[in-house]
């Protein structure tokens, strides 16, 4: 008999399953569509921090998670034998005007305060290489906290690590023990129907994969586009944010605009071939923060949902706090992240 049943094999479900298995719990994972079948099967994977100012619990939680990520993914890869695509290579962003330069210097000071010796945010001069975003001021922001991951590969790496521990993702099964609902957009829709209010919704994103080898270089953020040099020799660019759309899984001219912006920002991508176009729905909670904790009025049922754009960056810490809650009864979920904040 399982002590923990995980419903959903996206990044939240698999990460929590992994944390529970490491603590010796008997776990089963159930998802009729298999690992990474929803938005967790995407291609971008920018693990980028919030700006280091106006500090709050959400930003502190994210910082802790980003700092845990290297050990988290190294262990997953070692146990399962599959690469996640994780790398902490930092991020470059262009500074567009003099006011932006001034603000970037101020944030360098607050980064030192909040990030301490764990990472830096600094203003650097452009060197004119072809893997730098065009900057009208000649200055760039470089931070060493940002990391990248290949979402699809990372979920498969977690599934392989769980398999190595005797836990396979099942297409169907009966709930046993405590149950975690990490069912993404479908889960938000179900909860909205149960509570007769908008608990959350799916928000469409579109992204593309380009054939260009920039492995080992920093990720870029320019023209509102994340540009991610994956370790498999591809570059992901994305993504759109669409609340209203005709088709959830089809790409259109909005993705063409994203690709054009990436090419305009980075000379190295000007002629890179598009090898994949991707679209999917990302689960956005009503509060826009991850939604974690016990399911009210349903004893022994829990929720981990609402990863939206930051799910992979938050996953190591979310796995830890949900394992604390479900296995030890210890609630370390910060205010603003609770299920009740969305009901």
β-pairing, 4-7 vs 27-30, is parallel
- Band the pLDDT of 343: cuts 50, 70, 90: confident
Note the pLDDT tens digit of each residue in 54-103. Answer: 999 889 999 999 999 999 999 999 999 999 999 999 999 999 999 999 99
Rounded Cα distance between 152 and 343, Å, is 31
Residue 257, pLDDT > 90, answer yes
- Per-residue model confidence (pLDDT) at position 144: 98
Note the pLDDT tens digit of each residue in 298-320. Answer: 999 999 999 999 999 999 999 99
User: Given CA atoms 131, 70, 304, 165 in this order, what sign does their dihedral have?
Assistant: positive
Note the pLDDT tens digit of each residue in 19-37. Answer: 999 999 999 999 999 999 9
**What are the chain's domains?**
4-86+141-197+287-342 (3.50.50.60)
Helix (H) or strand (E) holding 188: helix 184-195
- Report yes or no: 310 and 255 within 8 Å, Cβ to Cβ: no
Residue 335, pLDDT > 90, answer no
- Per-residue model confidence (pLDDT) at position 9: 98
- Per-residue model confidence (pLDDT) at position 342: 85
Rounded Cα distance between 125 and 219, Å, is 17
Rounded Cα distance between 5 and 173, Å, is 9
Does the pTM exceed 0.85? yes
- Report yes or no: 218 and 205 within 8 Å, Cβ to Cβ: no
Q: Can you tell me the mean pLDDT for 136-153?
A: 98
Note the pLDDT tens digit of each residue in 174-191. Answer: 999 999 999 999 999 999
Residue 1, pLDDT > 90, answer no
Edge-to-edge strand ranges of the sheet holding 219-222: 121-125, 139-143, 91-94, 219-222, 225-229, 235-238, 200-211, 273-285
Note the pLDDT tens digit of each residue in 126-139. Answer: 998 999 999 999 99
- Band the pLDDT of 149: cuts 50, 70, 90: very high
């Amino acid at each position: 008999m399982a002590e923990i049943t995980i419903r959903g094999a996206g990044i939240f479900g698999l990460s929590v399953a992994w944390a529970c298995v490491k603590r010796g719990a008997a776990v089963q994972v159930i998802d009729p569509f298999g690992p990474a079948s929803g938005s967790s099967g995407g291609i971008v994977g920018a693990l980028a921090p919030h700006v280091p100012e106006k500090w709050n619990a959400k930003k502190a939680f994210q910082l802790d998670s980003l700092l845990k990520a290297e050990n988290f993914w190294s262990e997953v890869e070692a146990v399962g034998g599959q690469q996640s695509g994780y790398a902490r290579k930092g991020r470059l962003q262009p500074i567009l005007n003099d006011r932006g330069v001034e603000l970037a210097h101020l944030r360098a000071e607050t980064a030192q305060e909040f990030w301490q010796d764990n990472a830096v945010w600094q203003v650097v001069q452009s060197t004119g290489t072809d893997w730098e975003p065009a900057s009208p001021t000649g200055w760039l922001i470089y931070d060493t906290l940002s990391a990248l991951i290949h979402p699809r590969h990372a979920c498969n790496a977690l599934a392989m690590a769980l398999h190595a521990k005797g836990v396979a993702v099942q297409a169907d099964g009966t709930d046993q023990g405590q149950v975690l609902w990490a069912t993404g957009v479908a889960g938000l829709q179900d909860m909205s129907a149960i509570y007769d209010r908008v608990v959350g919704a799916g928000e469409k994103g579109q992204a593309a994969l380009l054939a260009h080898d920039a492995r080992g270089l920093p990720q870029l953020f320019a023209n509102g586009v994340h540009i991610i040099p994956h370790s498999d020799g591809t570059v992901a660019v994305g993504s759109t944010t669409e609340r209203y759309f005709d088709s959830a899984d089809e790409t259109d001219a909005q993705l063409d605009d994203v690709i054009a912006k990436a090419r305009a920002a980075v000379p190295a991508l000007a002629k890179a071939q598009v090898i994949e176009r991707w679209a999917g729905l990302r689960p956005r909670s009503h509060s826009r923060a991850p939604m974690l904790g016990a399911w009210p009025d349903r004893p022994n049922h829990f929720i981990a949902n609402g990863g939206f754009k930051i799910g992979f960056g938050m996953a190591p810490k979310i796995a830890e706090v949900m394992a604390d809650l479900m296995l030890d009864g210890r609630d370390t979920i910060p205010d603003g992240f609770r299920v009740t904040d969305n009901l």
